[in-house]
Structure 1
Amino acid sequence: MTTAREVPDPWSGSRSTPHWVPARGLANGLNSHSWAVLADLAEAQVYRVLFALIDAGIAAYVLPVRTTVLERGDPEVVWRLWVDIPRYRAAEDLLMELLRYGRPRRRPKPVQGRRRRPRVPLVRKPQ
């Protein structure tokens, strides 16, 4: 039987985060002696990634970082992911698996009201 995970709450008054995580950051509760930046995450990915790293036993924390908006639709704030240096490659592999295959792709919906031509396979006739 597994125990329920403690969800980090950035707005609670008393938190049990370690002293090395700044007040605005979130940690997964595992300790490390050295840290390295792995990726910048969107806000929607933060908890999923932290919980996956907990399950793998990899220490990690995230901090919000302001960015320069270059194009329309770019986020103003990203969450920078720091991971344990000795487990860096394992965290990198886990993150690639999680973000690449973690969510099914949505198929684009056809435009309503327009009639699409049927696709005809291209077949080369033998001469």
Structure 2
Amino acid sequence: MNILLWVLQIALALHTAVGAVWKLSNSEETVPSLNAIPHGVWLAMSVVELFFSLCLILPAFYKPLAILAPIAAVCIAVEMLLFSALHVLSGDANYGPIIYWLVVAAICAFVAYGRFVLKPF
């Protein structure tokens, strides 16, 4: 279980870091349903996402910070759920992004549950 959780944490950290870089290089207007997010918040989210991706892998190098990994996973899951809610509220009929965000949120929830309950560091 520990190996699976580490694989998911590393994949999630890479996913989140790539998403942060994408946010820095693209506007929130790239995804029409996310237009409600102010540009400053959009840019701040990329910095926060880079921090979360770091928090997911920090326990590999420094065990006392292990609590940061499941907290980061929960925060990323909340972000994905908020993106899904914005998409639904925008009235966009394309459900592809919602499915993607919900899958990422489910992986985050599994990592958080795994690190809090199943196999803590």
TM-score with structure 2 length normalisation? 0.25
Q: Which has a greater percent of strand?
A: 1
TM-score with structure 1 length normalisation? 0.24
Which structure would you say has the larger Rg? 1
